Structure 1
């Protein structure tokens, strides 16, 4: 049980996909102008990460490896992610058109979100069990959502700050992201006993 807790904390904080591995940066900078859209994107990515983990693990262990088709791994994973995102996009369009509009181009871009593909490749590459895969996916998704919410909160506060002209827009966002990444590096020294 302790190993699974450490795996969750490690995935969420120490090896955060956005701030340590730098995967999934496009929505991180594009959707974090408002807390609601950041939370919604975090929820969408969480769903896709969890289902991707649930699908790619048995696919790799029961189909690709036994048939010697490991070289098709990346293509198969991208197809799975694309199907999941299409289903999610249809669901959000039907249930919340306003949220669908807020996501704009970033919802279809989850298909090519390297954080999700990175998760799929990491769980297979690390040789995780199915339970470890689910915990890793949940921790990674929690860390992704946490970073998105933190960035959105800071960016909303920055609207009221007197930011010099040269730093306004993308420049201050990248500076904030860099400082957040430095802060998350501190989690690397955690000793969970």
Structure 2
């Protein structure tokens, strides 16, 4: 049951973009169209899952035993950059159509702080490997949900009669803030579920 609670909380209550404000660059930059948002979401989900798995193992089996915890951020950044390069190379060889679809988004993931944020969060929260994977998948889904919803709203704005004074970046930031406020409505859901299932 704890896995389900962490899963729901990571998607809705503690959304990586709208609550923790990580991954704002792709959230604002790659959300003009739903199709590009879907591509970016898929690429981030794959990298976030693998990066969390690898960095957790690195922390538990290399950094902690040898007292190298101070190298956590640096080593995690290097691992994420290497993983993105490996995914790039593998996709280019194995599936050229998928590479064409995601190839544009892969370099953006290297600088996406949401991936690094999730990798560091699972260590700080002292999650087990399975819980870390659960949290990574849920965070990736939360990132994708926020990005796709925002892209849908931005597409609809093309047909809206927006005053000249707020067109462009202004209406984008206003929309993002309203979306973040709407996700605040989920706060307390995880607490309610804990009480419901007697996990307090």
Cα distance change of structure 1 residues 183 and 65 upon mapping to structure 2, 3 Å threshold = same
Q: Does 1:188 align with 2:190?
A: no
Corresponding position of 2:97: 95
Corresponding position of 1:19: 18
Cα distance, 1:100 vs structure 2: 4.8
Cα distance, 1:36 vs structure 2: 1.0
CA distance in 1: counterparts of 2:125 and 2:179, whole angstroms: 27
Cα distance, 1:119 vs structure 2: 0.5
Corresponding position of 1:135: 134
TM-score, normalization by structure 1: 0.93
How many matched pairs?
A: 189
Maintained 8 Å contact 2:47/2:83: yes
Cα distance, 1:108 vs structure 2: 1.2
Corresponding position of 1:175: 174
Maintained 8 Å contact 1:92/1:99: no
Bigger drift between 6-15 and 106-115 goes to 106-115
Cα distance, 1:189 vs structure 2: 2.1
Q: Which runs of 5+ in 1 are unaligned?
A: none
CA distance in 2: counterparts of 1:60 and 1:31, whole angstroms: 31
TM-score, normalization by structure 2: 0.89
CA distance in 2: counterparts of 1:121 and 1:184, whole angstroms: 23
Cα distance change of structure 1 residues 88 and 170 upon mapping to structure 2, 3 Å threshold = farther
RMSD, matched Cα: 1.5
CA distance in 2: counterparts of 1:92 and 1:57, whole angstroms: 24
